Amino acid sequence: MSFEVFVSDDGKYIVGKVHAQLNRDLAQQLAKEYAKLIESTGIRLVLNDVRGAKNSMGILNEYEFAYRDVPSLGIPRNIRSAIVSDEGDTSHDFQETVARNSGYSVKVFRSMEQAVEWLLSVP
């Protein structure tokens, strides 16, 4: 599979680890799995580990994903989502912009520790 989704060992957040280049179809599949886990666990914190997986969606697909796909797939607006990408990989940065503009709390990090710290901090 191109990704795996699971609850962190401490049970505080959901982790999605992407193993392939991120396109809109893969992002939709990932969001569907997040929606299922969010609903079944009540956990509203999501860590997207895209290290080694560049984003190839492009501007239009990123906009459509944030404004149409994510809400229609059942992702609630009151989540907090961190994206961890590789140092020097800026391909996920626009995702933060369109997600925030569409009403979601999303932030890109280059450090796993900083991402987890931000997720667990009180907003």
CATH number at residue 66: 3.30.750.24
Rg over alpha carbons for the chain, rounded to the nearest Å, is 13
For the chain, what is the mean pLDDT? 95
Helices (DSSP H) in the chain: which residue ranges? 24-41, 58-64, 70-72, 93-101, 112-120
The sheet carrying 14-18 orders its strands as 3-7, 14-18, 45-49, 80-84, 105-109
Whose tokens are 């992407």? That residue is 18
Q: What is the DSSP letter of 22?
A: B
The residue range of the domain holding 8 is: 3-120
What is the pLDDT confidence band of residue 22, given thresholds at 50, 70 and 90? Answer: very high
What is the pLDDT confidence band of residue 123, given thresholds at 50, 70 and 90? Answer: low
Q: What is the pLDDT of residues 35-88, one digit of tens each?
A: 999 999 999 999 999 999 999 999 999 999 999 999 999 999 999 999 999 999
The residue type at 104:
Y
Number of domains, the chain: 1
The pLDDT score that the predictor gives to residue 1 is 73
